[in-house]
Structure 1
Amino acid sequence: MKSKKVSAAALGLAVILTASGCSGEKAASDAKPTQASDKPADTSKTLEISWVGQGARGKIEDNNKVQQMIEKKFNVKLKNRKLDVNNKEQKNLMVASGELPDIAFMDSPEKLYSDAVTRSISKDMITKYAPNYAKVLNDLPTGWKVNQVPGKQGEYYALTGYKQDWDNLTWGQVYRLDWMEKLGFKPKDDIIPVATSGGAERIFFSKQAFTLEEEQKMFEAFANNDPDGNGKKDTYGLLLNNSDASWALNTEAGAFGFGWDYNLEENGKVVGYAISQNYKEFLTYMASLNKKGYIDPEFTTLNRAKSWEKFAAGKYGAAQVQVQAAGMVPFTFNRPPGNLVLKDPTAKFLFTPPPIGPKGQQGSAAYTPVDGLGYAMVIKKDVSDEKLARILQIFDYLNLDKDGLMLSAFGEEGKDYTWEAEPYKSAVIPKQTAEADREKDGIGYYNLPIQLGNVNAYYSNAAVSKLTDLYFGVEAGRNIAYRPFKWDYFNQTKYNELNTKYAAKLKTITDEFLFKAITGELNVDSAWDAYVKNWRSSGGDELLAELEKAPKVADLRKK
């Protein structure tokens, strides 16, 4: 295999479609981009198609090179839309004004269909005009069940994206290895650097996690033994924030047997994580860490970004981090550990799986509740079957044909991108430094993320791929990704409707109790019953009643 030196900044551009993508264990199929096996169906009639894909950020230029390729190959005239799909206001205005394109990357596809804004897509048409996409759905247990129109067998209100790496374990724990060495703590197993340059050579991985008891001993030393040598008592154990608990406490929660934001089974019934006995034990533990001084007392004033800034200032000895962050993918340079790696050339880190709890429990919440299906592209209500057939042909080519994917998502090899190492088995390195420049050329604008098999590696880097293959994307890691006990994946109950009604209030109740419990403002044991009663009576019981009707996630994942 040929290897090439690639700057960290350039490598970060490989992550185009989303902030997560890595090679790992094959899912339902060993899928790779394929060559279109058949000439597209009749394209003798020129059709005009308006299109907004996942990569739309408002910078698209008409007559770009990807557009020209599509128009020539499929005899169409494309109309682009200068829209940022991450801007909800822009999307809402587009829908309200009746200007939805013929095909568009959108949120809430079920609502758009129920509001008669979009049309359905039949399984027969998908199978005939998008055979590569149909194969992806065939190979997944839930492939033909997601986005199905209620009461209409074989009809779908959206085309669904898929990311194989969403089945992997997402979170691990990072520790200040330089502090550990200074204070006499050692990794529990052999360690290996995740990479050889760019700062990642100072991040080491060990498959052996610490127990909470072992963590506490380190936290005590981090907080009390002046690990930074400045003569002040101004360092702490675990990073926390006041706004995104799932970004700070997922791994600690996993040590108590639950995934953050996911329901679980308790005495044969479905229960919300926030009123479970596991959560009560977790809160008691976190309160004890705070009482001992292992947690920064300012955490209640720090949002996620501010807590990351304090990590970069060298104030914390441990943090929950994504695999991509441990692998130093540049979009993570604003967070642990990259923000300190790049600032302090002496800082060293140990990355491990999540810590192990007193009952041997370990893990963190899976990235998605059931599987790797997600994202959606919808079809406008007035699109004819003739135009839909052409759209499906183009969709299949852009996302699942080898040549179509490479040109539409990355451009021309040599001119727009190079490979990190071996072609089609490593990361794609875009040459253009700004996403807007790529979008102007149409690169990434028309696609929907469908990443499996070798394609995962295109959106990753060698360090993330190494971590994925060593642990996070193989059985050992995937088995400790917590998923809900039950999930209304196919909108078969009133859960989603009721969740829209009650979610904000329940979050307020949960967050208030969480912070008061950790800071010691209330006693978990004495306040617990009243808190649970309030949660249940504020819509929680109605939500749980609907979830009881939903299928078990374990059954949904059966092949």
Structure 2
Amino acid sequence: MASKKASVVMLSLAMALIASACSGGKTTSSEPNSGNASDKPVDTSKTLEISWVGQGARGKIEDNNKVQQMIEKKFNVKLKNRKIDVNNKEQRNLMVASDELPDIAFMDAPDKLYADAVTRSIPKDMIVKNAPNYAKMLSEQPTGWQVNQAKEGEYYALTGFKQEWDNMIWGQAYRLDWLEKLGIKPKGELIPVGTSGGAERVFFTKQAFTLEEEQKIFDAFVNQDPDGNGKKDTYGLLLNNSDAPWALNTEAGAFGVGWTYNLEEDGKVTDYAISKNYKEFLKHMASQYKNGLIDPEFTTLNRAKSWEKFAAGKYGAAQVQVQAAGMVPFTFNRPPANLVLKDSNAKILFTPPPIGFQGQQGSAAYTPVDGFGYAMVVKKDVSDEKLARILQIFDYINLDKDGLMFTQFGEEGKDFSWEGEAYKSAVLPKQAAEADREKDGINYYNLPIQQGNVTAYYTNASVLKLTDLFFGTDKGREMAYRPFKWDYFNQTKYNELNTKYGAKLKTITDEFLFKSITGEINVDSAWDAYVKDWRNSGGDELLAELEKAPKVADLRSSK
């Protein structure tokens, strides 16, 4: 079963995702800590070599960069960087398969890595002693010390946290300039999300299109030459072959499906991929493909390549996060910014998710229960001595005020400026490209941890406007689809069985998805055999364990 991991890469994971001031996470900490929260001195007398890959790794890191030099000097270590793109699933898998996992690395599926004996556990007492600020953050959250717990007092990963993850959903972006050219009028009042930097050409409306209206729009995008080049080479919705959650969340949401999540059906828990609603979604997507509304090359495009085609003006729509619609600098490599900044005539309409034929609307919540997500794991052969130093560095670069600012943003004036008042507004990087920042080590080593006033660093005025207008309101937050049940604290054998069966089930699900969309199989005639195969390949065992897990509604009510 494809369980929802917050690091479904994701992504474009990029600099850390944005946090919203209107999110629902609870915290008593208002800003990063200044200095070590522990009174006990830490021993750094021995020089240690540590290999490190953080969330911002995109394959462009340069050795002996300024962030590296700072960390090495402060903690008496020698860092070994890896030129890997953590958004590239193949690169991550190869790194693990070849036994080249760094001492500490940003990875998805941390439970599987631990179960496969690729990584080691992290004792709670070592966290408290060597990463006191991180320990304090965990203590301030009701579920903090229960997430990623391997056994009593041991953890298989260090956990990221962002308040806004608790309620984040996707919206839908359309080429407004194409709509205007084709005489298609948007619904509702159009509000520019910003006043400059391209954001003045992104407009938001609270009124979403229905799927029926959307199909007519996509048909016009394909058949009425919206770019005026005299060729039939434009399509409707952006798709890719590797990260369906980054392309189909909003469309599936119109059928009541939270992508990769389980749901309640006929009084029992079932997986999204064998649900009745998912079957109807597949038939809808197959119809789009048959009618020529979907790019036939999508099966050859990974997420990055599909973004490039959007920037080249080949797609008229894409699902988009609020941060990207708000034109936050780290999203400049993805829709809609990668087009808006390239084409001065491009205009974007940003709406809530489309409305389905039965009135359903929404998208999968970014995380299943609360604001915890993403993970960094420690390789199995790392000694306690080295782990202690890793935790000290981790604590400083992610939760200390000075450490966070320098490692995530660089030097004020040279690498970034403030949108408004320092430490109370958004950070504006001087270099828009992630690769340029990464070369200097900026954000390469970090894990997203944003709480309290830190959220302001990542939230520009445009994102705040979108949050206030819709996405932070009760109506917007209620559109987040969550799992029906979730074994958040490893109380059942679900994760153990998912390690055993998950890869095969994902292969079965993915193959059926692509064959259904492209018309290689007929969804109705092939459905029963597909469901039987899924259930007999370990799916039923997983569902039986999920029946023992708590309801997400109950987990959230205890927050």
Amino acid at match of 1:511: D
Judged with a 3 Å threshold, the aligned counterparts in structure 2 of structure 1 residues 538 and 179 are, in CA distance, closer, same or farther, namely: same
1:352: how far off? Answer: 0.5
In 2, the alpha carbon distance for the partners of 1:317 and 1:481 equals 24
In the TM superposition, 1:132-531 aligns within 5 A as: 132-150=133-151, 152=152, 154-229=153-228, 234-297=233-296, 299-300=298-299, 302-373=301-372, 374-378=374-378, 383=383, 395-431=394-430, 443-444=442-443, 447-531=446-530
> Any idea what SS the aligned residue of 2:144 has?
coil
Match of 2:22 in 1: 25
Q: How many angstroms apart in 1 are the aligned matches of 2:413 and 2:359?
A: 51
Which digits, 9 at most, give the CA deviation of each residue in 1:434-460, with x for residues without a partner?
767766766545543211233233235
* SS of the residue 2:145 aligns to: coil
Establish whether residue 59 from structure 1 lines up as the match of residue 59 from structure 2.
no
SS of the equivalent of 1:41 reads coil
Residue 276 of structure 1 aligns to which amino acid in structure 2?
S
Q: 2:544 — aligned with what?
A: 545
The CA distance in 1 between the partners of 2:503 and 2:154, in whole Å, is 33
Quote how far apart the aligned CAs of 1:266 are: 0.6
Letter in 1 for 2:133: N
Write the distance in 2 (CA, Å) between the matches of 1:301 and 1:90: 20
1:205 CA drift (Å): 0.8
Q: What displacement does 1:251 show? A: 0.5
Q: Does structure 2 retain, via aligned residues, the 8 Å contact 1:162–1:449?
A: yes
- Kindly tell me: are residues 241 and 129 of structure 1, through their superposed partners in 2, closer, same or farther at Cα, counting changes over 3 Å? closer
> CA separation of 1:515/1:81 partners in 2, compared to 1, >3 Å: closer, same or farther?
closer
Q: Which moved more, 1:347-356 or 1:53-62?
A: 53-62
1:175, 1:215 → 2: CA distance?
A: 10
Distance 1:21 1:43, change over 3 A: same
| TM-score of the superposed pair, with normalisation by structure 1 | 0.81
1:252-293 Cα deviation digits (max 9, x unpaired):
110111111221111121111111011112123233334444
Larger radius of gyration: 1
SS class of match (1:201)? helix
| Separation in structure 2 between the aligned mates of residue 266 and residue 251 of structure 1, nearest angstrom | 20
CA distance in 2, matches of 1:418, 1:482: 36
Q: Secondary structure at the match of 2:150?
A: coil
Between the aligned partners of 2:189 and 2:486, the Cα distance in structure 1 is: 39
Counterpart amino acid of residue 141 in structure 1: P
Superposition deviation, residue 333 in structure 1:
4.2
Deviation at 1:145, TM superposition (A): 0.4
> 1: CA distance between counterparts of 2:197 and 2:483?
38
Distance 2:542 2:527 in 1: 20
CA distance in structure 1 between the partners assigned to 2:434 and 2:237 by the alignment = 34
Amino acid aligned to 1:169? M
Residue deviations 1:432-490 (CA, integer Å, cap 9, x gap): 68767766766545543211233233235443343234333444333212222222333
Higher alpha-carbon deviation: 20-29 or 223-232? 223-232
Tell me how far 1:553 sits from its aligned partner. Answer: 2.3
Taking structure 2 as the reference length, what is the TM-score of the superposition?
0.81
For 1:120, the aligned partner's letter is I
Task: Kindly provide the amino acid, as one letter, of the partner of residue 39 in structure 2.
Answer: P
Matched AA of 1:179: W
- Superposition map of 1:60-75 within 5 A: 60-61=63-64
Distance 1:30 1:193 in 2: 34
What do residues 130-152 of structure 1 show as CA deviations (whole Å, max 9, x unaligned)? 443233212323211012232x2
Give distance in 1, aligned partners of 2:237 and 2:119. Answer: 47
1:243 deviates by 4.2
The answer on whether the counterparts of 2:225 and 2:232 sit within 8 Å (CA) in structure 1 is yes
1:7-26 paired onto structure 2 within 5 Å: 18=15, 20-26=17-23
2:20 aligned partner, one-letter code: S
* 1:526–1:144 distance in 2 versus 1, CA, 3 Å: same
Identity of aligned residues (%): 68
Structure 2 equivalent of residue 121 of structure 1 = 123
Q: Distance in 1 between matches of 2:13 and 2:418?
A: 14
SS in 2 for 1:368: coil
- Asked if structure 2 preserves the Cα contact closer than 8 Å seen for 1:100 and 1:380, the reply is no
**How much does 1:498 deviate?**
3.3
**Structure 1 position 232, deviation (Å):** 5.5
- Report the AA paired with residue 144 of structure 2: G
Note if contact 1:254-1:364 (Cα within 8 Å) is conserved in structure 2. Answer: yes
Q: Does the CA contact (< 8 Å) of 1:165 and 1:473 recur in 2?
A: no
Contact 1:498 1:543 survives alignment (8 Å): yes
SS in 2 for 1:258: coil
> Is this contact kept in 2: 1:377–1:448, CA < 8 A?
no
* Structure 2 residue identity aligned to 1:468: T
Structure 2 portions without partners, runs of 5+: 1-11
After alignment, is 327-336 or 201-210 more displaced? 327-336
Aligned to 1:318, what secondary structure does the other structure show?
strand
Q: CA deviation at 1:300?
A: 4.7
CA distance in 1, matches of 2:161, 2:232: 48
Between the aligned partners of 1:294 and 1:90, the Cα distance in structure 2 is 35
For the Cα contact (< 8 Å) 2:330–2:432, is it kept in 1?
no
SS of residue matched to 1:538: helix
Return the letter of the residue paired with 2:135: A
